[in-house]
Amino acid sequence: MIKKPILDNELKEHIASLAEDGREIFLLKGGKVRLTAVAATEMCNQVRVNHELGPLETYVLSQAYVAGALLASTVKGNDRIRLEVECGGPIKGLSVESWASGAVRGYLMANPIKLEKPLESLDTSLLYGPGFLTITKILEGAKTPFSGQIMLEYGNLANDLALYFQQSEQTPTLFYISLHFDEGARLFGAGGLFIQALPGADEDELGEIQEKAKGLNNLSRCLSDGMSIREYVESEFATFGVEHLERRMIGFSCPCSKSGFECYLKGLPEKEREEIKKGTFPLEVECFNCGTVYSFEKEEIEKILGGNA
């Protein structure tokens, strides 16, 4: 993966002034409730640059990246989790993969998002339309991935994720995804919360936390103002007995490489290899997960595919 530079100096200075991106895990209510919190402003801005996203595309895909970083707290070691949406609305769908280690990558199926008329609100149900949400756990050593799927009910990623956990794992869950843009449509704050009941939690205790969640201070604005994600949680949920468990860095990262694409080109059917050798150079191939473009000159293709290009 090649990270493209963020050229907006004011945005770079703002990001540098913030607490580092990261994922924090806490227990509430004496260990009966688990809270995962993510700060992701730098990650989402790098995604925007690499994928060359407009404001609307940034809004949609950043939500999915924050969700992916939160979901990765449910796997461990070298395991990863994939969040996919297939839908009939203008975004068509998206796919985000996140590793337990904190790496996140993924893409929008429609970039740019084509609208028949300008949006009058940020109601994402108009963008998603009917469709399906799928979560797949890819566990190291397992013979096959484990997947679960629901129909989109809300067209709101946080609400549909909560519905997924309620239906697939029968676990009361709350997702909160927060993005803050400045007047110039620059993403100045990005973060999220994933609150999940553990065995022993009763309905009254969960109800208290759900009521608290309705009145939380705006997470992304707090992050934009320089508050760390840990400070936010320990302040907002102080009355619930916050116990900090662990911190992990998160970031936009993809294991793609030029050598990996060389192997891909070698494995193409002979007809496609011959068409490539007769095509124009340099040949450019793009990783759809991270937007990195790898360029191959004619001499390189001759070496990779053999014969004269």
CATH of the domain at 210: 3.55.30.10
Phi/psi of residue 186, nearest 5 degrees = -95, 140
Query: The CATH number of the domain where 291 resides is what?
Result: 3.90.1280.10
Question: Do residue 174 and residue 83 come from a single domain?
Answer: yes
Question: Do residue 130 and residue 270 come from a single domain?
Answer: no
Whether 60 and 94 have beta carbons less than 8 Å apart is answered as: yes
Domain boundary at 209, 228, 252, which? 252
Whether 178 and 53 have beta carbons less than 8 Å apart is answered as: no
Question: Do residue 149 and residue 237 come from a single domain?
Answer: yes
**Do the domain assignments include residue 28?**
yes
**Do the domain assignments include residue 139?**
yes
DSSP 8-state code for residue 20 = P
Question: Do residue 247 and residue 294 come from a single domain?
Answer: no
Is the pLDDT score of 308 beyond 60?
A: no
Q: What is the pTM of this model?
A: 0.95
Q: Which residues contact 224 (CB under 8 A, 6 or more apart)?
A: 14, 18, 41, 180, 188, 189
Q: Using one digit for the tens of pLDDT, what is the confidence trace for 120-131?
A: 888 899 999 999
Question: Do residue 239 and residue 295 come from a single domain?
Answer: no
Phi/psi of residue 75, nearest 5 degrees = -125, 175
**Do the domain assignments include residue 269?**
yes
| Sheet (strand 131-138) strand order | 146-151, 131-138, 80-87, 93-99, 103-108, 251-252
Separation of alpha carbons 60 and 277, rounded Å? 38
Question: Do residue 238 and residue 275 come from a single domain?
Answer: no
Question: Do residue 142 and residue 116 come from a single domain?
Answer: yes
Angle between helices 41-51 and 9-17 (to 10 degrees): 150
**Do the domain assignments include residue 212?**
yes
Whether 51 and 291 have beta carbons less than 8 Å apart is answered as: yes
Q: Using one digit for the tens of pLDDT, what is the confidence trace for 24-64?
A: 999 999 999 999 999 999 999 999 999 999 999 999 999 99
Domain boundary at 209, 236, 252, which? 252
Question: Do residue 146 and residue 291 come from a single domain?
Answer: no
Domain boundary at 210, 228, 252, which? 252
Read off the pLDDT band of 307 (50, 70, 90).
Answer: low
The tokens describing 27, both together, are 């227990």
DSSP 8-state code for residue 51 = H
Q: Using one digit for the tens of pLDDT, what is the confidence trace for 124-183?
A: 999 999 999 999 999 988 889 999 999 999 999 999 999 999 998 888 899 999 999 999
Range(s) of the domain holding residue 279: 258-305
Reported as type and span, the H/E element at residue 27 is strand 22-28
Question: Do residue 136 and residue 15 come from a single domain?
Answer: yes
Number of domains in the chain: 2
**Do the domain assignments include residue 288?**
yes
**Do the domain assignments include residue 1?**
no
Separation of alpha carbons 285 and 270, rounded Å? 18
**Do the domain assignments include residue 133?**
yes
What's the average model confidence in pLDDT over 206-225?
93
Instruction: Please give the pLDDT value at position 206.
Output: 79
Question: Do residue 29 and residue 176 come from a single domain?
Answer: yes
Question: Do residue 196 and residue 288 come from a single domain?
Answer: no
Question: Do residue 158 and residue 292 come from a single domain?
Answer: no
Separation of alpha carbons 122 and 149, rounded Å? 25
Pairing state between β 293-296 and 33-39: unpaired
**Do the domain assignments include residue 2?**
no
Separation of alpha carbons 88 and 126, rounded Å? 10
Q: Using one digit for the tens of pLDDT, what is the confidence trace for 236-279?
A: 999 999 999 999 999 999 999 999 999 999 999 999 999 998 88
What are the counts of helices (DSSP H) followed by strands (DSSP E) for the chain?
11, 13
